[in-house]
Amino acid sequence: MKSSTIYDVAQAAGVATSTVSRAFSNPDRVGAATREHVLEVARRLGYQPNPLARALVSRRTRTVAMVVSDITNPHFFELIRGAEMRAKASGYTLVLVNAEESPRIELEQIHRLTRSVDGFLLAASRQPVEDLLQLAAGHRVVVINRRVPGLASVVLEHAEGCRQMVGHLASLGHTSVVYLAGPRSSWMAASRWAAIRGAAAELGLRAQRMGPFAPTVASGGAAADAALTTGATAAIAHNDLLAIGVLRRLADRGVQVPSDVSVVGFDDIFAADLCTPALTTLGGAHADVGRAAVEILLTSMEQSRDQPPELTVPSDLRLRKSTGVPGAPADQPGS
């Protein structure tokens, strides 16, 4: 059952290997009759071109790598899903790499894969800017949910989203909000905090930042406690996982959400709509982000642009039950 090669086909068809090769990858270069014949023989032999051999000389592997900072976070699934679909649609293969929140692992893996993929999707990269730039000098790179001057990137809109979020809280009567920050090396965390602080200043709210916290449910306990010490009536968690952890801790401590404290998150992960109370959060088409990132990578292989594209995918604030008027009486279930 050894699979057949271009040589087998060439021999069986009575032509040279170059002709077989061209019949597949450069059809106009061979006569119509010959091409038909070769293709027919190839089909009969069940010939399947070997991607490795092809890649070795053509330097195109038709593979892209997606590096995520933490595969545990359900939010990335959407990203991955979108990327996988777009890649598959163009006959590309997606390899998945989990950086486990470690810049070192991230770098190591990228290094390891350079020769075997055509480009990298770096989702929520924890890499310092200079390292990213250096990386991009040697490889095709699209960063996701991070903006780096000079690099192609796709981010889910969040500046305007943060503004809306703070506006929403202000309109409910909150006067003091706390941002429960994500990891120190997270560009998103910095960017969100800037937007929140800006919006708060505009609207005359007090804004504080606590943290950093790991963007996990487990960290939510500490984050909730920190939030309470600030006296703020609204907590903006770095992401939904953290927010859900916060909700849990608040429930344990007997703090009512949203009457005592409002809580909002980011990402609108599947569970955000299911937890109690349902989480107000900034959602968006994450799959589109992944899709767009692959798209950019693929087109950048055809023609290299002068200006690397910076895409923004729209987001929207999804109001649910975890935000409300501060001090308002708790919902009576059934009322």
Partner DNA sequence: CAACAAATGGCAACCGATTGCCGTCCGCGG
Partner DNA sequence: CCGCGGACGGCAATCGGTTGCCATTTGTTG
33, interface contact from a second copy, DNA, none, CB < 5-8 Å by kind: DNA
Collect contacts of 6-15 with beta carbons under 8 A, ≥24 apart: 6/47, 6/49, 8/45, 8/47, 9/38, 9/41, 9/42, 9/45, 9/47, 12/41, 12/44, 12/45, 13/37, 13/38, 13/41, 13/42
Least separation in angstroms between CB 142 and a second copy: 18
CB atoms inside a 10 Å sphere around CB 26: 10
Positive or negative, the Cα torsion across 227, 160, 147, 196? negative
Instruction: Work out how close the CB of 61 gets to a second copy at its nearest, in angstroms, rounded to a whole number.
Output: 7
Is 281:264 a contact under the CB 8 Å cutoff? Answer: yes
Residue 162 Cβ, how far from a second copy at the closest point, in Å?
25
Q: State which residue, 269 or 296, has the beta carbon closest to a second copy.
A: 269
* Residues near 308 by beta carbon (within 8 Å), at least 6 away in sequence: 150, 151, 152, 153, 300
Which residue in 47, 120, 179, 187 binds DNA (CB under 7 A)? 47
Query: Where along the sequence are the contacts to a second copy (CB under 8 A)?
Result: 1, 3, 48, 50-53, 55-56, 61, 63, 71-72, 74, 77, 80-81, 84-85, 88, 91, 93-98, 109, 111-116, 137-138, 244, 270-271, 274-276, 333
Q: How far is the CB of 262 from a second copy (least distance, A)?
A: 18
Q: Residue 59 corresponds to which tokens in the numbers above?
A: 């330097």
* Smallest separation, CB 223 to a second copy (Å): 17
Q: How many residues bind DNA (CB under 7 A)?
A: 31
8 Å CB contact between 267 and 282: yes
Cβ-contact 264, 237 below 8 angstroms: yes
**CB neighbour burial string for 32-41, b if at least 16 within 10 angstroms, e if fewer:** eebbebbbeb
Among 40, 46, 58, 299, binds DNA (CB under 7 A): 58
Site for DNA in 9-38 (CB under 7 A): 14-19, 21-22, 24-26, 28-35
CB closer to DNA out of 5 and 216: 5
Contact 158, 315 (CB under 8 A): yes
Residue 258 C-beta: closest distance to a second copy, Å: 16
Contacted by 114, from DNA, a second copy, none: CB < 5 to 8 Å by type: a second copy
Q: Which parts of this chain interact with DNA (CB under 7 A)?
A: 5-7, 14-19, 21-22, 24-26, 28-35, 47-50, 53-54, 56-58
